[in-house]
Amino acid sequence: MTPSLSNRRSNSPFRRRSAFTLLEMMMVVVIIVLLLGFAVSKLKGNLDFAKDTRIKGDIQSIATQLLLYESSGSLPSAEQGLKALVEKPQTEPRPRNWRQLLPEVPRDPYGREYQYLVPGRHNTDGYDLFSMGRDGAAGTADDVGNWENK
């Protein structure tokens, strides 16, 4: 009596297992890491573009609130800053009919407060409203401000 084909395979010392080897798994991990590294490097430029776009949108929104504030008398002084949109100013010039226009002083995507200068360096007849950008220093090439929107 001859053993069946399936019995011969299961008793064979050279039977093939259907699992992945450590080398195969490591190769897959390396390929995934390489693909992720490539994707992250490509997305970095898009992330900076997205932050600049958000800054421009925030500046427009804050500028609208400053227009509303100005309708009650004058713009906040440099000393009062953007905090005047959140809390009633205790120093002159005080607005006639103050109301809270923002829930808090806004921050840019880098975690820093937006800068407000009155009179402005770029807008000498008004104000400059800007983010100091990635480097966190005012007056550098990466600053994004309301003078770019005009």
What are the pLDDT digits (tens) for 40-58? 887 777 788 889 999 999 9
Domains of the chain in sequence order = 36-140+143-147 (3.30.700.10)
Would you write out the chain's pLDDT as a tens digit for each of its 150 residues? 555 555 555 555 666 667 778 888 889 999 999 999 888 887 777 788 889 999 999 999 999 999 999 998 899 999 999 999 999 999 999 888 899 999 999 999 999 999 999 999 999 899 999 999 989 889 898 899 999 755
pLDDT of 36 reads 92
CA–CA dist 6, 9 (Å, integer): 5
Give the residue among 70, 59, 64 at the shortest CA–CA distance from 115.
59
User: Rounded to 10 degrees, what is the CA torsion of 43, 49, 50, 53?
Assistant: -170
Q: Is 144 left (phi over 0), alpha (psi -120 to 50) or beta?
A: beta
Q: What is the largest CA-CA distance in the chain?
A: 110
pLDDT of 49 reads 87
**Count of alpha carbons within 13 angstroms of residue 133, beta-carbon side:** 12
pLDDT of 29 reads 93
pLDDT of 3 reads 54
